[in-house]
């Protein structure tokens, strides 16, 4: 039967060697994620120019820097669940279209609140791209290289971090006005998003998602009852979707998993985005007389020297070291670096020592939880809830980013830079502790991960296999599977 052939295809996917099909999926997702990263982080540079141009007070600056992140929370929730209901491919290109509208609208905004509105639209699309980009590659990957492939998608964030400052330097160096520079910076996010739509429309639907849907049709035709546990795993269509989501969120096992994936992402993004988007403000505190171009150069140097090697090494070592282990190492080193900066006198007033330790923290952020918090949710949930679980995790993560970016100026004014970074050290230590609730998925097939985490997983898989191999006549009359 077709279902047996589909099952064989899933096994073939798990054991396949790296090939062009894997790279096509990585490029289609990676270009979108490059756009996500560019749009999220370029606001740190653009907002510094906008503040001068529009004379923004600290409150409005905080809203501008954090609006897109708040919208990303909602986008990750909505599009993650939508991708489990209607398929990955439809959401795959839809989020890119939303990002184009948000980027172009931001570039041509004529008022502060119009800019805020379009940044919200952009953030909604970016949030939706997180789960679908990760899951599409995860479900096309083989088991041995899955972390590497999903990590390659996330690694395009490094390009997004670097391209923004480079373009800003080129524009400012050419003598363009600061008003023109920030508009170009924000509008350029539409260019890769347009290319993404073309690439993603040519991508087929996830084979694992298609197989899941085929299994559901056969089970329904065979009149197999949908128990609550089965509904949670199968993600039944129509009215059963809500039951499946409720059962998923009511399950202690999956709530613990969400606490691990979403909680760690929340803590990581609080520390990471709060510091990254606020890097120009941090550099202003350490070197207040530096020009805008000097601050951009310093920010670019931190990314290029410290962050990029972290991304590259994480991709190379992720599947060998283990996804969970890499997250533990990264959180531990982040906590140590922020503790040193906050606790050692003089670290926040001397540029060179600060940049060294700050750079080391960046390296272990990328060679650690910034990479793994994106990879792990694409592996640890059943296919019917994979995009939902990733979307919830990404959304909670972006909530942490929103809080970090919004609170950083407030905390800095009340606690000082040292106190703020000591708090960040504590947040990183919490991430280290919470990582221990997660299992290690490296090297396992997605089906084996799901079955090992679900008490009913093995029985459901056996039942589905029996129905899939039954004769069409048996299925059509609602007969019970043989055996």
Q: Which two tokens stand for residue 9?
A: 């295809």
Percent of residues in the chain assigned helix, strand, coil, to nearest 5: 85, 0, 15
Residue 437 CB coordination number (10 Å): 14
pTM (global) more than 0.85 = no
Tell me if 162 sits within 8 A of 37, measured CB to CB. Answer: no
Rounded to the nearest 10 degrees, how much is the dihedral formed by the CA atoms of 288, 294, 299, 304? Answer: -150
Listed in sequence order, the residues at least 6 apart from 429 whose beta carbon sits closer than 8 Å to its beta carbon are: 331, 335
Task: Of 140, 166, 163, give the one whose Cα is nearest residue 152.
Answer: 140
Q: CA 2, CA 50: separation in Å to the nearest integer? A: 58
CA 426 to mean position of chain CA atoms: 23
Residue 144 CB coordination number (10 Å): 17
Listed in sequence order, the residues at least 6 apart from 414 whose beta carbon sits closer than 8 Å to its beta carbon are: none
Per-residue pLDDT, 476? 35
Listed in sequence order, the residues at least 6 apart from 304 whose beta carbon sits closer than 8 Å to its beta carbon are: 162
267 CB burial (10 A radius; 0-12, 13-18, 19+): buried
Does residue 305 form part of some domain?
yes
Per-residue pLDDT, 220? 62
Indicate which CATH number applies to the domain containing 189.
Answer: 1.20.1250.20
**Residue 81, CA distances (Å) to 78, 171, 237, 275, 457 in order:** 6, 40, 12, 30, 21
What's phi and psi for 103, nearest 5 deg? -65, -45
Does residue 48 form part of some domain?
yes
Does residue 482 form part of some domain?
no
Please write down the HEC assignment for all residues of 397-447.
HHHHHHHHHHHHHHHHHHHHHHHHHHHHHHHHHHHHHHHCCCCCCCCCCHH
Tell me if 72 sits within 8 A of 168, measured CB to CB. Answer: no
DSSP per-residue letters across 334-374: HHHHHHHHHHSTTTTT-HHHHHHHHHHHHHHHHTTHHHHHH
Per-residue pLDDT, 240? 38
Annotate 405-427 with b (16+ C-beta within 10 A) or e (fewer): bbbbbebbeeeebbebbbbbbeb
Range of the domain at 215: 2-468
Q: CA 343, CA 285: separation in Å to the nearest integer? A: 17
Does residue 314 form part of some domain?
yes
Helix residue spans in 16-111 (DSSP H): 20-54, 58-86, 88-107
How long a stretch of residues is the chain?
483
> What is the CA angle 358-260-123, rounded to 5?
65
What DSSP character marks residue 305?
I
Q: CA 33, CA 160: separation in Å to the nearest integer? A: 8
Q: CA 106, CA 112: separation in Å to the nearest integer? A: 10
Does residue 206 form part of some domain?
yes
Tell me if 102 sits within 8 A of 122, measured CB to CB. Answer: yes
Per-residue pLDDT, 147? 94
User: Per the structure, how many domains does the chain have?
Assistant: 1
Does residue 312 form part of some domain?
yes
Tell me if 26 sits within 8 A of 137, measured CB to CB. Answer: yes
Does residue 481 form part of some domain?
no
**Residue 351, CA distances (Å) to 47, 269, 340, 363, 414 in order:** 23, 25, 14, 18, 22
**Residue 469, CA distances (Å) to 363, 448, 458, 479 in order:** 51, 21, 17, 13
Q: What is the pLDDT along the chain (483 residues), one digit of tens a residue?
A: 445 555 677 788 888 888 888 999 999 999 988 998 899 888 888 888 898 889 888 888 888 888 998 899 999 999 999 999 999 999 999 999 999 999 999 999 999 999 999 999 999 999 999 999 999 999 999 999 999 999 999 999 888 878 888 898 899 888 888 889 999 999 999 999 998 898 898 899 998 998 888 777 666 666 555 444 444 444 333 333 444 678 888 888 899 999 999 999 999 999 887 666 556 556 665 566 667 677 777 777 778 888 889 999 999 999 999 999 999 999 999 999 999 988 888 776 777 788 788 889 989 999 999 999 999 999 999 998 999 999 999 999 999 988 887 787 777 778 877 888 889 999 999 999 999 999 999 999 998 888 887 654 444 444 444 444 443 334 333 333 333
Task: Of 156, 158, 177, 157, give the one whose Cα is nearest residue 168.
Answer: 177
Q: Which two tokens stand for residue 416?
A: 């000082």
N-terminal to C-terminal alpha carbon distance within the chain:
18
């Amino acid at each position: 039967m077709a279902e047996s052939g589909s099952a064989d295809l899933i096994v073939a996917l798990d054991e396949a060697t790296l090939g062009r099909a894997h790279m096509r999926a990585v490029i289609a997702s990676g270009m979108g994620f490059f756009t996500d990263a560019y749009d999220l982080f370029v606001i740190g540079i653009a907002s510094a120019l906008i503040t001068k141009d529009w004379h923004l007070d600290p409150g409005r600056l905080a809203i501008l820097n954090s609006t897109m992140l708040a919208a990303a929370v909602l986008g990750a929730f909505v599009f993650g669940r939508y991708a489990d209901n209607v398929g990955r491919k439809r959401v795959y290109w839809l989020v890119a279209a939303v990002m184009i509208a948000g980027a172009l609208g931001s570039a041509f905004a004529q008022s502060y609140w119009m800019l805020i509105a379009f940044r919200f639209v952009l953030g909604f699309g970016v949030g939706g791209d997180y789960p679908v980009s990760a899951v599409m590659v995860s479900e096309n990957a083989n088991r041995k290289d899955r972390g590497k492939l999903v990590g390659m998608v996330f690694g395009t964030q490094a390009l997004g971090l670097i391209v923004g400052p480079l373009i800003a330097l080129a524009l400012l160096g050419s003598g363009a006005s600061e008003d023109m520079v920030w508009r170009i910076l924000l509008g350029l996010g539409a260019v890769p998003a347009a290319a993404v739509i073309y690439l993603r429309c040519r991508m087929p639907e996830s084979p694992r998602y298609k197989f899941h849907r085929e299994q559901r049709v056969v089970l329904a035709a065979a009149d197999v009852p949908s128990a609550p546990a089965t509904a949670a795993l199968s993600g039944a269509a129509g009215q059963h979707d809500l039951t499946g989501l409720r059962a998923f969120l009511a399950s202690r096992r999956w709530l613990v998993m969400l606490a691990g994936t979403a909680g760690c992402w929340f803590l990581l993004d609080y520390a990471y985005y709060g510091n990254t988007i606020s890097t120009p403000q941090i550099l202003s505190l350490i070197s207040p007389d530096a020009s805008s171009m000097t601050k951009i150069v310093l920010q670019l140097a931190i990314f290029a020297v410290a962050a990029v090697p972290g991304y590259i090494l994480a991709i190379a070592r992720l599947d060998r070291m283990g996804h969970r282990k890499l997250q533990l190492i990264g959180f531990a080193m982040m906590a140590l670096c922020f503790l040193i900066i906050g606790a050692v006198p003089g670290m926040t007033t001397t540029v060179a020592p600060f940049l060294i330790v700050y750079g080391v923290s960046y390296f272990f952020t990328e060679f650690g939880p910034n990479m793994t918090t994106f990879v792990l949710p694409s592996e640890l949930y059943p296919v019917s809830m994979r995009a939902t679980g990733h979307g919830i995790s990404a959304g909670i993560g972006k909530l942490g980013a929103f809080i970090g970016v919004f609170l950083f100026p407030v905390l800095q004014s009340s606690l000082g830079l040292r106190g703020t970074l000591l708090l960040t050290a504590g947040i990183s230590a919490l991430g280290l502790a919470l990582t221990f609730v997660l299992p290690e998925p490296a090297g396992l097939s997605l089906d084996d991960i799901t079955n090992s985490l679900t008490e009913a997983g093995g029985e459901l898989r056996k039942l589905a296999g029996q129905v899939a191999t039954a004769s069409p006549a048996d299925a059509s009359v609602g007969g019970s599977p043989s055996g």
